[in-house]
Amino acid sequence: MGDLAEEGHHQTFTQLSFMVRSKCLGKNMGGMAIISWNGRYKYELLYQTKAMKYRAQESLIYALLAATFLFYGTGPALGIVLHPDGEPNLANWTDRPDPNVIGRWGSNASCVAVSSNCVITTRHQGGGVDTYVDIGGNTYIVTEIWNCDTVDLRIAKLYGANLTSFVGIYEYTNETNKEIVMGGYGKGRGILLESYGYTWSGSSNQTQRWGQNKVNGTGNVEDIVGRISDVIIADFDGYGVQGAQPYEAAMAEWDSGGGWFIYDGNKWKVAGLSRGVTDHDGESWFNPPDSLDAVRVSSYAWWISQTIPERVPGDLTGDDWVDFADFAVLTQYWLNTGCEYPDWCAGADFEHDGDVDWADLAFLMNGWLGNGGN
């Protein structure tokens, strides 16, 4: 089974300076910290007495409230292979995840947003710190990486990201027979190969595509460099045959790290990351059907949830710093009463109570004047 970063060939990137190794299968997590960069200036507020601190807080709150009324009221400044008769009309197909949860990883893979500033992806395609990720209409640079032990899985932190679209982690081990939606930035369908398959088409990972499939089972696989991963497995059935989905799909080159999603509890959650497909040197076969697999997220759900870093309290811009830029974000949602999971009004609803009000402003102020700004 070939990796999807290159057509049936594995690409190895050595990044001794930047790899962070963390235990993935148990609760004893070890590792080394990673050095991140940023180009901001940092300021410190120094107080001789507590009274001076409180007077400074009071003065700044009054100033910010005045600014609130100035800001408020002004607006804030596809690689899946599908059958010809089974292509979805993406404009009308709403029963799928928000397209902004899938991103482009560099020039040869895909990734999935799992928090406001982190994505998960596979490792075999290479890249790391300083890789560019295009997601949600913006481009970000990776500043930190956490690798999941010897598994083809990693978490990447995006500098300056405050993503409003991301998905939860599918934690259950009942994936078999579940219908999935898969998405990625890999190659698409090329020409028909008589009655058994298609060639792959495309010269870059610029196009986002979506399709469907069904999980047939689970297992574990070892790749060419010895990474062993639990996987969920599907196959690429012919159009209209028994068991095929309406938008039956297979993966192709550059889909690595793209998501397999299951609808659970009225929310889309990522259950797998596209990893490998039967190797036909740039072709997808449905007769006989190709086998597809994805890194099984449920096996590593605890590690993912424990490893995703918490935001600096009050930071709404993803730069690990609390300042006027964060206040500007809050003012865009001031008195909004429609804040919901997962983004909670771009994070401005700190309390997750559905609105942005004085309590949220107080939380931001505490981060600004307290310990929030590093």
Question: Residue ranges per domain, the chain?
Answer: 51-76+323-369, 80-91+171-268+280-293
What pLDDT shows up at residue 346?
79
Say how far apart CA 139 and CA 133 lie, in whole Å: 6
Higher-pLDDT residue of 308, 43: 308
In the 8-state DSSP scheme, what is residue 5? T
Q: Has residue 180 got a pLDDT over 70?
A: yes
- DSSP string covering 184-250: ES--EEEEEETTTEEEEE-SSS---EEEEEE--EEEEEE-TT--EEEEEEEE-PPTTSTT--TTBEE
Give me 278's structure tokens.
Answer: 């039967």
Q: For 174, phi and psi rounded to 5 degrees?
A: -105, 35
Give whole-number Cα distances, 330 to 9, 223, 338, in Å: 47, 46, 14
What pLDDT shows up at residue 31?
30
Span 246-270, mean pLDDT?
A: 96
CB-hemisphere CA count at 13 Å for 315?
21
pTM: 0.71
Say how far apart CA 117 and CA 202 lie, in whole Å: 29
- CB atoms under 10 Å from CB of 76, counted, come to 10
- Specify the range with the lowest mean pLDDT, choosing from 49-53, 93-97, 322-326: 49-53
Q: Has residue 232 got a pLDDT over 70?
A: yes
Instruction: Calculate the average pLDDT of the chain.
Output: 80
pLDDT tens for each residue of 93-115: 989 999 999 999 999 999 999 99
What pLDDT shows up at residue 250?
96
Can the peptide bond before residue 288 be classed as cis, meaning omega within 30 degrees of 0? yes
What pLDDT shows up at residue 370?
61
Q: Has residue 6 got a pLDDT over 70?
A: no
pLDDT tens for each residue of 330-368: 888 998 888 887 677 877 887 888 898 888 888 888 877
Identify the band that residue 5 occupies on the pLDDT scale cut at 50, 70 and 90. Answer: low
pLDDT tens for each residue of 114-139: 998 999 999 999 999 999 999 999 99
Identify the band that residue 319 occupies on the pLDDT scale cut at 50, 70 and 90. Answer: confident
Contacts of residue 16, defined as CB under 8 A and 6 or more positions apart, other chains included, come to none
- Specify the range with the lowest mean pLDDT, choosing from 203-217, 227-241, 319-333: 319-333
Identify the band that residue 19 occupies on the pLDDT scale cut at 50, 70 and 90. Answer: very low
Is the distance from CB of 270 to CB of 169 less than 8 angstroms? Answer: yes
Q: 81: closest CA among 217, 274, 269, 219?
A: 274
What pLDDT shows up at residue 70?
34
Give whole-number Cα distances, 10 to 62, 234, 282, in Å: 59, 21, 14
- Specify the range with the lowest mean pLDDT, choosing from 27-31, 96-100, 218-222, 263-267: 27-31
Say how far apart CA 199 and CA 208 lie, in whole Å: 18
Give me 207's structure tokens.
Answer: 């196009």
Identify the band that residue 229 occupies on the pLDDT scale cut at 50, 70 and 90. Answer: very high
Say how far apart CA 110 and CA 139 lie, in whole Å: 13
What pLDDT shows up at residue 136?
92
Contacts of residue 169, defined as CB under 8 A and 6 or more positions apart, other chains included, come to 114, 269, 270, 297, 298, 301, 304, 305
Give whole-number Cα distances, 267 to 9, 95, 299, 341, in Å: 35, 11, 20, 9
